[in-house]
Structure 1
Amino acid sequence: MLEKLHRSLSPSLLLLLAFCAAVFIGEETVISIATLIVLSAELGISYGLFKKRDKSDLALIIALGTESLFLWTRAPWLLACSILLLIAASLWRAVIAPSARGKATVWRVARGTLFSLAALAVSVLWMVDLYAQSWTRPVKLPADMNAAIEDSILDSSAVMLRNIETMNAFGSRTTGSEGHNRFVVWLERQVTDMGFTVHRDNYAFDRWDEKSSSFFIEEDEIRISSVFPYSGVTDDEGVSGELVYTKRGDYTKASGKIAVVEIENIANLPMGLLMNVRGAFPEKTGLVTSDGDLVVTAALKEAHLEKAKEHGVLAVILVWKGASDDKLRKEYVPFTSDYAGIPAVWVNATEGQKVIRAARAHQAGTVRLQAELQKNAPTESFYVKIEGKNKQEAILVNTHTDGVNAIEENGAVGMLSMLRYLRHEPPERTMVFAFVTGHFRLPEFKGTSQATSTWLQAHPELWDGREGHMRAVAGITVEHLGSMEWKDDGEGRYGPTGLISTEYTYAGNERMGAIWLKAVEEKSRTRTVVLRGHNRFQFGESQPLFEAGIPVIGFIPMPDYLLVDRESREMDKFDVKLMREQIVSLLKAVKLVDATETDELGKSDSYSYFYGRTR
């Protein structure tokens, strides 16, 4: 009985170990130790308890050796060999050995087929993991490698603050808006005054911009927390109809009516599916599972407004659940949707309960959403160059210029200070500073991923290394400087935590990660987590550089208020001294990269896959 149970469970256990080793990045040590224990027990049971040998035992013995060597050397190829041996041994025990022992039965054939399919699936995961090289070894920089920044040359905090206030004076800067266009003109004037030549790329697109909105249930006004960008427009009278509570994406019973849909915020994001940690400084700095929750929720839990329009729905009311009213006020989400042609607004949980009750009582509502629809609206990207001694190789520094508050996006202001500093120190390689448009209109500007990909496609001569073109050996992306952390507490109150926002920084390979950790080690305040692009996710404008194979350092804190479009521009959450410290680190990174040989900078890794390292 025990022997039969052992034969039944053993293959599944071996395959489970192979699956875990292939999928869970960062847990290699724990899984290897568990594998050693299980394999030792397996061999002990076979030889000690049942006094039997199996042809697959040799694979298990070799796997024991490779796992032991892996724990000693940390060589990824040893782990890959062990996974393959586990898959082979499990297949032998579940499929091949039973076939040799006796007559085939329907159950045995079915079980063998299912197990073979499972083993094939694990093998595919193993091959993907092997191709992506998801598990990499950290790089150590020489102890004497450093970069000094002359404090007297760098803009003071007061100068940076004045520039931020100037940016804020333009108001909201959504793509192609008046505020955005005026901000770009101001940026170009700043770099021209520094003596740089501006190279422009002009675009035209169809722009939507909210002017006013309201929502009434009969005669009672319901406070709108924000409108759904690029949703739709009504006339002055708005649209009126019965409120119907329905599930997200299911608008069949809302034809000719106003749909009410509840969207629950994903307050604790599955970070292992979104991110893969390379390192951190201080060492115990970890991921914050609620960072970027509203942005990710709005993207993952799509409202599917196009379906609502197809079903003849008059308007859509989206009710937030699981976030405080203060946190939700004036959130510009989602910013990645095509124009839907149907008005939609968000309401907070407090107002939302009134709306849901009214919908269940079949009360009527009126939605008014007036917006400007501008055909062929102009917008512009531009770049400047600092000529280096080496004119065949380039370092790209990029950000986007559109945004809604003091943090999103102030990278362009930070890059002004970087340019002003670097013009005093001619670099080894040519540096290209790209200020791109379109981040807030990704359906039209994303190219292959984010807005910078459109700029890359327009300027292969600056980065692709083909005949007569410069080769970009590295990239530095600058976003969301000076942001302090604000969170909902356990009682639903939104306020400061006293911490700086987690400084998420994507590194294209381990060398770039090590350079960034070196660049931040002397900061007075740091909360750095270095990431690898994972499962096709890489937040921010460093993604196009990464996907183009350019080793990148992509600095992108993600505070909860990142997309809040209020008149205050979230200045109460901005710290200019922190911004200046972060610019110092970015300048150090630029100098360290410029001082590193091209071969040492290496190639960019690919995305890692499955469940990433979360600490």
Structure 2
Amino acid sequence: MGMPNHCHAGAAALVAAGLLLTACGQSNSSAGPDAPAPPAEPVACPEPGDLTTAAEVLADRLPDEALLEIWQRRMVERGPRFTGSPALAAWHDFLAEELASYGLSVERDPMSLEWWHHHDYSLTLIVDGVETPIPVASFYPYSGYTPDGGVVGRLADAGAGLPQDFLLGDFSNTVVIYEEDQLPLTLALLYSTTSYVHDPDNTMTPATPYRRASVSFLTPQEQVSVGLARDAGAVAAIVSYDASAENAAGQYTPFLTNPADSQGLPTLYVDRATGDQLKAAIADGAEVRLELLVERDPDAETDIVIATLPGTRPDEVMLFNTHTDGTSASQENGTLGILALARYFASLPQQCRQRTMTFVMMPGHFHNGFGGDTAGFISRYQELIGRSVASLTMEHLGQPEWLDDEQGFHPSGEYEPGVWYGTDNVVQALMTAAVQAEDLRRVFVNRPIGVIYFGVGSPLNAAGVPNASYITGPNMMLSFAENQHVEKVDYARMAAEIRSAARIATAMDATSTELLCAGVRSQSPTTPSGCFP
């Protein structure tokens, strides 16, 4: 069965209502318009399930599809949320206000950083003195910058941009162009560590192609080529990216960069067809004018948003986390999932929560200058990690599958494959039961490789905190083009992913510390966790 065609009507108006604080029997007069309405009658705690039966979810306590769409569009309308940008600050304001309106205690921990606003870029081909504008797909983040008017150099072909390619010619004072191919991956990447696959329609096999722009940061070109071009004497670089114009547009890659990593060589991306046209002009002695303008802010600020919801056992903590910075509708709408879970658990009586629940929304995923996102949080909040015995992470929700092939950039009619990664113990069974209960199709339940897996939940697992982490990797995950691809989001899929998360969180909270910690390994024996006090 393919992906359903969900028709999304305009978001309905929401009526502001006070949040019932069931723990103290009082209403919260500061509840915002997105807070849950007080229950008409006392709420019974969801059944926790067991190793084969998923925990119950009270779906009417979770945001519906209309509210999820409202939140999604509020995020996107602020613009791409680059780390340190005003757009990210505005998104943090919204998240903090919402969390406070649900009755959570909210803390904002400020951090300083340097941020570059890449505000203008262009490319011009010069042949026989005639300048022709060339369409640019995107810029290479923090590669470098030019003065107004750009830099001009002879266009030179550097092959695949690898060390041997720069031994074959003189690249002094040139603008080099090199090709970056997407990794020829298949779904064997996911099948290799799976403990369960929910694909009743048999739409996937290990041989299914998994060619995605979202993992281009792992290519050798994004590891070494800009630095090699700089060392060879080039004044700028062009990456001929292995993608259609539609898929190449707005790709922000590699995203794990920051000003301190700048190679000092301004670099732009073009799609492969445009790259081929440029290379064909080399025989005519073509030159190129490349412009990449940045506004540097050495005193930018951002913050970590942390919200706490008391449970019946304050000595133990369950963490919910994601990152907040991102460039697309999917990156990072995991904040919507974490916000929905905070709203959900806050609407239940305190006796429904064994452990204190702490919701962490951390910047740094798109700026590696202060230790990364989750890893930075772990080093900054070791006392909290020392009490944490469970954690849940969400990233890139509501994603349909879009393919880039001989048909162009197009929807496949299926959902993007998703993965619930998690600690290799009882957590695998809890995730599997939730996926089955929600009939969450084209979803893997996967073990770590050692203690590592994709996503910002992995550092928690590596630090000895049992973790369940949901993630997808669609082609448009890093792209800020096409209004951040917000029109592609599927809110029914997002709602189902969040329901599965609510089931897993309920089950983890009800599971004994002894069982949650059984078999847990830590890569950081000097960093205490709730499983390694």
Shorter-chain TM-score category? 0.7 to 0.9
Q: Give the superposition deviation at 1:261.
A: 0.8
Give 1:180's match in structure 2, choosing from 84, 88, 91: 88
Alpha-carbon separation, structure 2, partners of 1:420 and 1:185? 16
Task: Please give the root-mean-square deviation of Cα atoms over the aligned residues, in Å.
Answer: 2.2
Contact 2:306–2:361 (CA<8 Å) still a contact in 1? yes
Query: CA, structure 1 residues 547+292, in 2 after alignment: closer, same or farther (shift >3 Å)?
Result: farther
**Paired residue secondary structure (2:477):** coil
What SS does the corresponding residue of 2:68 show, helix, strand or coil? helix
Find the counterpart in structure 2 of residue 259 from structure 1: 176
SS of the residue corresponding to residue 556 of structure 1 reads: strand
Structure 2 gap ranges (5+): 1-48, 524-533
Residue 296 in structure 1 maps to residue 224 in structure 2: no
Q: How far 1:535 sits from its partner (Å)? A: 7.0
**Which runs of no fewer than 5 residues in structure 1 stay unpaired?**
1-140, 465-469, 608-615
- Alpha-carbon shift at residue 565 of structure 1 (Å): 0.6
The Cα shift of 1:590 comes to 0.4
Query: Separation in 2 of the partners of 1:534 and 1:144?
Result: 24
Q: CA deviation at 1:454?
A: 0.3
Structure 1 position 484 matched with structure 2 position 400: yes
- Write the mapping of 1:349-368 to structure 2, written as runs, cut at 5 A: 349-368=272-291
Q: 2:105 aligns to what? A: 197
Structure 1 residue 428 corresponds to structure 2 residue 354: yes
Q: Write out per-residue CA displacement over residues 536-568 of structure 1, whole angstroms, 9 at most, x where no aligned residue.
A: 752210111111011211100111110111252
Q: Which amino acid aligns with 2:99?
A: V
The residue number in structure 2 matching 1:334 is 254
Partner Cα separation in structure 1 for residue 335 and residue 113 of structure 2: 22
- Is the 8 Å Cα contact of residues 245 and 360 (structure 1) preserved in structure 2? no
Alpha-carbon distance change, 463 to 424 in structure 1, aligned in 2, over 3 angstroms = same
Give the secondary-structure state (helix, strand or coil) at the position aligned to 2:481.
coil
Farther off after superposition, 268-277 or 164-173: 268-277
1:136-175 superposed matches below 5 A: 142=50, 145-175=53-83
**Helix, strand or coil at the partner of 2:402:** strand
Structure 2 counterpart of 1:229: 141
For the Cα contact (< 8 Å) 1:210–1:372, is it kept in 2? Answer: yes
Q: Does the 8 Å contact 1:209/1:230 carry over to 2?
A: no
The CA deviation string for residues 314-340 of structure 1, in whole angstroms up to 9 with x for no partner, is: 10011123x322211111111123222
Q: Who is 2:453 aligned against?
A: 538
Answering whether residue 437 of structure 2 is matched by residue 437 of structure 1, we say: no
Separation in 2 of the partners of 1:560 and 1:392? 42
Matched-pair contact (CA < 8 Å) for 1:324–1:349: yes
SS in structure 2 of the partner of residue 533 of structure 1: coil
SS in structure 2 opposite 1:198?
strand
* 1:585 corresponding residue in structure 2: 500
Question: Amino acid of the residue matched to residue 452 of structure 1?
Answer: T
8 Å contact from structure 1 (residues 397, 475) kept in 2: yes
In structure 1, how many angstroms separate the alpha carbons of the residues matched to 2:410 and 2:489? Answer: 13
CA contact (8 A) 2:145 2:293 kept: yes
More helix by share: 1
User: What do residues 221-267 of structure 1 show as CA deviations (whole Å, max 9, x unaligned)?
Assistant: 21111111111111111000101111414446212111111112223
Question: Is 2:163 the partner of 1:246?
Answer: no
Checking the alignment, whether the CA contact within 8 Å between 2:122 and 2:292 is kept in structure 1 is yes
Can you list the C-alpha shifts for 1:384-427, whole angstroms capped at 9, x where unaligned?
11111111211111000111121111111221111111012221
CA distance in structure 2 between the partners assigned to 1:492 and 1:318 by the alignment? 23
| Partner secondary structure for residue 562 of structure 1 | helix
- Residue 271 (structure 1) shift: 4.1
1:398-477 equivalences under 5 Å are 398-425=321-348, 426=350, 427-442=353-368, 444-445=369-370, 447=371, 450-464=372-386, 470=387, 472-477=388-393
Q: How does 1:280-319 map to 2 (within 5 A)?
A: 280-282=197-199, 286=205, 290-291=209-210, 293-303=212-222, 304=224, 305-319=226-240
TM-score normalised by structure 1 residue count: 0.70
In the TM superposition, what is the alpha-carbon distance from 1:278 to its structure 2 partner? 2.2
Question: Offset of 1:361 from its aligned partner?
Answer: 4.0
Contact 2:424 2:448 in 1 (8 A): no
Deviations 1:42-77 (A, max 9, x none): xxxxxxxxxxxxxxxxxxxxxxxxxxxxxxxxxxxx
Aligned residue number for residue 215 of structure 1: 123
Go from structure 1 to structure 2 and tell me whether the alpha carbon gap of 1:296 and 1:288 turns closer, same or farther (over 3 Å shift).
farther
272-281 or 157-166: which moved more?
Answer: 272-281
Q: Contact conserved, 1:249 with 1:308, CA < 8 A, in 2?
A: no
The Cα shift of 1:189 comes to 1.0
TM-score, normalised by the number of residues in structure 2: 0.81
Task: Report what 1:512 is aligned to.
Answer: 427
* Alpha carbons 1:274, 1:537 under 8 Å: kept: no
Q: Offset at 1:207?
A: 1.1
Contact 1:552–1:604 (Cα < 8 Å) also in 2: no
Amino acid corresponding to residue 255 of structure 2 in structure 1:
F
Q: Distance in 1 between matches of 2:196 and 2:249?
A: 34
Change (3 A) 1:359 1:183: same
More displaced stretch, 248-257 vs 413-422: 248-257
Distance 2:252 2:354 in 1: 41
The equivalent of 2:480 in structure 1 is: 565
Q: Distance in 1 between matches of 2:455 and 2:138?
A: 23
Give a deviation string over 1:441-480, Cα, whole Å, max 9, x none: 12x13x3xx511101111111122xxxxx2x111100111
Cα distance, 1:230–1:144 mapped onto 2, change above 3 Å: closer
* Offset at residue 183 of structure 1 (A): 0.5
In structure 1, the partner of 2:30 is: none
Query: In the aligned structure 2, how far is the partner of 1:421 from the partner of 1:389?
Result: 17
Given the superposition, is the C-alpha separation of residues 495 and 360 from structure 1 closer, same or farther in structure 2, using an over 3 Å criterion?
same
SS of the aligned residue for 2:483 comes to: coil
Question: Which position in structure 2 is the counterpart of 1:65?
Answer: none
Q: Give the superposition deviation at 1:360.
A: 4.3
Amino acid of the structure 2 residue aligned with 1:394: V
Q: For the Cα contact (< 8 Å) 1:387–1:429, is it kept in 2?
A: yes
> Take 1:564 and 1:500, find their aligned partners in 2: how far apart are those partners?
18
Q: Which has the higher contact order (CA 8 A, sep 6+)?
A: 2
Pick aligned residue for 1:392 from 289, 301, 315: 315
**Bigger shift: 148-157 or 342-351?**
148-157
Higher fraction of strand: 2
Q: Which amino acid aligns with 2:256?
A: T
Q: How does 1:320-331 map to 2 (within 5 A)?
A: 320-321=241-242, 323-331=243-251
State whether residues 252 and 479 of structure 2, in contact with CA within 8 Å, keep that contact through their aligned partners in structure 1. Answer: yes
Return the offset for 1:525: 4.3
Contact 2:462 2:521 in 1 (8 A): no
The residue number in structure 2 matching 1:575 is 490
SS where residue 521 of structure 1 aligns? Answer: helix
**Is the 8 Å Cα contact of residues 182 and 211 (structure 2) preserved in structure 1?**
no
